[in-house]
């Protein structure tokens, strides 16, 4: 029997459709940007589309073709967003560089990607100079600023506003295969060199449809979204696409991410929704507690990148009326894969049970599949107790790395996330550790994440990190590193007493070390790799 195909129009799923939709049907919705000096600038989706089309004209005039890599090196702002859409919408590949990585690593990444053109924040001029020197494919540098704000550099460069000024903004967008490359983002390289994750238009489009669901980010035209998560971090969690698709007002905070600066923007612009890593929200929470201030409009935040402690979730919900939704994903998953929005059954349970579920990484988004396996590859049950390696597959999951032939999928097409987790009967997934971070003591696993989350519930603790150190009998034992909260003095005995009874006795850290600061990586996560280096040769107390 011949196949019967549907009689629907064949319309390519390309990301230019998002900004075109926003500009056509939500054209007056504001996009607010804060520059490094604190200056606030305003445009809207109609204006952003025009600027992005001018960028496309300028790129085409510079000889940029479909598939060419165009790099950005900057913070969250309207010029950066115009460069984003101006690049992707003509079939070129947007490569967001992370300015918080080491300069040698950034140069390696840009050279590996073969970037032809760089759009950089003027404050990063020294870093741009390094790339001009060390990236042989780099032809043009544009600084994301007006001519009067151009930095003094010793290489040819032009200001963004001048670069696009002569162009009418008439470039044709779309009209290409949805499977073409759209964006390129490199992993942070915690082991070996960073790896390039090459997103397609189709994968980004489908990811946006997932993110817009009510049990995901749930953005609507009525929301005002503060994009705190950096635009260089895994597609900005999809908000750069979801906001114009929904017509939400968008607030871009630039480089200033301290509690006071974020609070000012939230109140000034009537922000209702935001997304960021836990360390940002910890800083904002400390600012609120120190000043006695509260929110007048913010009602929901998505926290991802690392597990938010239950104490943080409770504080925002109980003290400030802000719902916390945890999201989990990685660069290779576009990134959102699970979210902890409560089900009807969870909402019918006690408040403590609801918080327990919110502290988990959540339920899988539609179109994705999970698998939980032991070290031998055997499937484990979804009973909430069996802990194993987490595998994932789907249309928004990487099938390989850019310019790297190493296979990354198993025989059934699943990608190994490198996370160790449990999944319960209701589908709630909980990361117990990264495979490389887990503490294995006497042949048994100890969850560093669970100990850290409990420790940060202590009022004197701002940040906590657990690493394993060698032990002559048990192979490894955990030690707990504590960064005190501002104005507080943390005490080893007091912290251990706080943990006593909350975890198994054999999980109790063998030592608590009070440190001035716990190092954070380029995406705001605790840098366990650096901590292990710093504590190499550490000897446990007798």
Cα 289 to the chain's mean position, in Å?
26
Question: Angle CA(136)–CA(139)–CA(143) in degrees, nearest 5?
Answer: 120
- Residue 200 and residue 180: Cα distance in Å, rounded? 5
Note whether 251 and 227 are within 8 A (CB).
yes
Which is catalytic among the residues 187, 279, 432, 456?
187
Single out the residue of 282, 283, 228, 232 nearest to residue 453, CA to CA: 282
Residues 6 or more apart whose CB falls under 8 angstroms from that of 215 comprise 339, 341, 363
- Annotated catalytic residue 452: no
Which is catalytic among the residues 162, 220, 323, 445?
445
Residue 436 structure tokens: 């490389």
Residue 3 structure tokens: 């196949």
Note whether 452 and 482 are within 8 A (CB).
no
Cα 480 to the chain's mean position, in Å?
26
Which is catalytic among the residues 223, 269, 332, 452?
332
What dihedral angle (degrees, nearest 10) is formed by the CA atoms of 517, 191, 121, 163? Answer: -170
Residue 18 structure tokens: 């998002």
Classify the C-alpha dihedral 365-368-374-378 as positive or negative.
Answer: positive
**CA distances to 58, 82, 95, 319 from 172, in Å:** 13, 15, 21, 50
SS (H, E, C) 350-418: CHHHHHHHHCCCEEECCCEEEEEECCCCCECCCCCCCCEEEEEEECCCCCCECCECCCCECCCCCEEEE
- Annotated catalytic residue 332: yes
Element (H, E) at 130: helix 125-134
Note whether 416 and 391 are within 8 A (CB).
yes
Note whether 259 and 283 are within 8 A (CB).
yes
φ/ψ (deg, to 5) at 291: -110, -15
- Residue 321 and residue 314: Cα distance in Å, rounded? 10
Name the residue with tokens 């390094």: 130
What dihedral angle (degrees, nearest 10) is formed by the CA atoms of 533, 329, 263, 144? Answer: 80
- Annotated catalytic residue 529: no
DSSP-assigned states of every residue in 40-87 = EEEEEHHHHHHHHHHHHHHHHHTT--TT-EEEEE--B-HHHHHHHHHH
DSSP-assigned states of every residue in 168-179 = -S------S-TT
Active site residues: 187, 332, 440, 445
């Amino acid at each position: 029997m011949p196949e019967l195909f549907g009689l629907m129009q064949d319309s390519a799923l390309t990301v230019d459709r998002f900004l075109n939709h926003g500009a056509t049907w939500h054209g007056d919705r504001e996009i607010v940007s804060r520059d490094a000096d604190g200056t606030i600038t305003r445009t809207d989706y109609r204006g952003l589309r025009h600027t992005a089309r001018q960028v496309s004209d300028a790129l085409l005039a510079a000889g940029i073709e479909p598939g060419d890599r165009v790099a950005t090196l900057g913070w969250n702002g309207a010029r950066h967003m115009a460069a984003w859409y101006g690049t992707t919408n003509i079939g070129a590949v947007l490569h967001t560089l992370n300015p918080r990585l080491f300069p040698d690593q950034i140069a390696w990444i840009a050279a590996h990607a073969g970037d032809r053109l760089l759009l950089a924040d003027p404050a990063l001029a020294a870093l741009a100079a390094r790339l001009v020197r060390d990236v042989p494919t780099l032809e043009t540098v544009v600084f994301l600023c007006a001519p009067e704000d151009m930095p003094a550099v010793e290489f040819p460069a032009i200001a963004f506003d001048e670069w696009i000024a002569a162009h009418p903004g008439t470039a044709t967008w779309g009209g290409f295969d949805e499977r073409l490359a759209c964006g390129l983002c490199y992993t942070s390289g915690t082991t070996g060199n960073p790896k390039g994750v090459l997103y397609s238009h189709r994968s980004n489009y489908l990811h946006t449809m997932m993110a817009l669901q009510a049990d995901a980010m749930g953005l609507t035209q009525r929301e005002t979204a503060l994009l705190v998560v950096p635009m260089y971090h895994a597609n900005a969690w999809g908000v750069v696409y979801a906001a114009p698709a929904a017509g939400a007002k968008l607030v871009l905070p630039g480089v200033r991410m301290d509690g006071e600066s974020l609070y000012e923007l939230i109140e000034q612009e009537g922000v209702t929704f935001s997304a960021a890593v836990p360390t940002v929200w910890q800083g904002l929470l400390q600012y609120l507690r120190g000043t006695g201030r509260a929110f007048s409009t913010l009602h929901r935040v998505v926290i991802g990148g690392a597990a938010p402690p239950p104490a943080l979730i409770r504080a925002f919900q109980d003290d400030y009326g802000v719902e916390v939704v945890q999201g989990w994903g990685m660069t290779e998953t576009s990134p959102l894969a699970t979210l902890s929005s409560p089900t009807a059954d969870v909402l019918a349970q006690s408040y403590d049970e609801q918080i327990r579920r919110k502290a988990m990484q959540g339920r899988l988004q539609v179109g994705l599949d999970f698998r939980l396996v032991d070290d031998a590859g055997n499937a484990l049950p979804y009973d909430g107790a069996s802990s194993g390696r987490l595998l994932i597959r789907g249309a928004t999951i990487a099938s390989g790395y850019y310019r790297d032939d190493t296979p990354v999928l198993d025989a059934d097409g699943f990608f190994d996330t490198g996370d160790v987790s449990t999944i319960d009967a209701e589908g709630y997934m909980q990361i117990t550790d990264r495979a490389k971070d887990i503490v294995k003591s006497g042949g048994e696993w100890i969850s560093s994440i669970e100990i850290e989350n409990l420790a940060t519930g202590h009022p004197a603790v701002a940040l906590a990190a657990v690493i394993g150190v060698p032990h002559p009998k048990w192979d490894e034992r955990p030690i707990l590193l504590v960064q005190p909260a501002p104005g507080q003095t943390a005490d080893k005995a007091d912290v251990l007493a706080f943990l006593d009874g909350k975890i198994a006795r054999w999980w109790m850290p063998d030592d608590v070390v009070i440190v001035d600061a716990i190092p954070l990586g380029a995406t705001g996560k605790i840098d366990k790799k650096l901590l292990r280096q710093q504590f190499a040769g550490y000897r446990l107390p007798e």
